[in-house]
Amino acid sequence: MGNNTGAPGFKLGKTLTEADVIELSTLSGFTPEKVREWHSGFIKDCPTGKLNKKKFIEVYKQFYPTGKAEKFCEYIFRAFDNDSSGSIDFCEFLIAISITAQQEPKKKLEWAFSMYDIDRNGFIEKKEMKKIMDAIFDLLGEERKGTNTPQLKVDQIFSRMDTNGDGKLSKEEFISGCLQDDYLRRLLAPSAS
């Protein structure tokens, strides 16, 4: 059977039982038919029922052929890999897809926060945000010059979001800052716009 996932005590094999489909439908908000469709595609691409980091990066790079996607992909992969197993099982994949596909910006921002909180301590420090900004610049092939540098972007983000001035962003500061500032939302969580 598979690893523990975001659902407590939920184990998942390569084949789905009807109970699995119902539980995944409830967790993800997708219809049972859509769950089966996603599962079929996932197993076709990942016959072992697991998506490893190498395969994930290989697939993701296709969307950014001119950029350097590896670093950014590592952060996305870590956010998808809820149980830190080093692979993404179908449940983790489906939950991540459901979050990125839904309309509610707050859920997308919560997921974005989990990607930026590299050390998973519940806060985004400047050094973490700098790593992410470097990865975004690499991914998009952005030129680093003048006022367009990762460090300046980090400084702008923190000056707008770090409302208590403690040098780190809580989940609440991050979400609130993104919801109140279109520029920051587009920069940090484009799918939440």
Reading the block at residue 182, the tokens are 């279109």
Average pLDDT over residues 9-21: 76
The CATH code of domain 105-192 reads 1.10.238.10
Q: What is the pLDDT of residues 94-118, one digit of tens each?
A: 888 887 676 678 888 988 898 899 9
pLDDT in the model for residue 192: 67
At the top level of CATH, which class does the domain 18-101 belong to? mainly alpha
**Residue spans per domain, the chain:** 18-101, 105-192
pLDDT in the model for residue 12: 65
Do 18-101 and 105-192 come out as alike in CATH topology? yes
Q: What is the pLDDT of residues 18-39, one digit of tens each?
A: 999 999 998 888 999 999 999 9
Q: What is the pLDDT of residues 61-101, one digit of tens each?
A: 777 777 787 888 888 888 888 888 999 999 888 888 887 67
C-alpha–C-alpha distance, residues 40 and 14, integer Å: 10
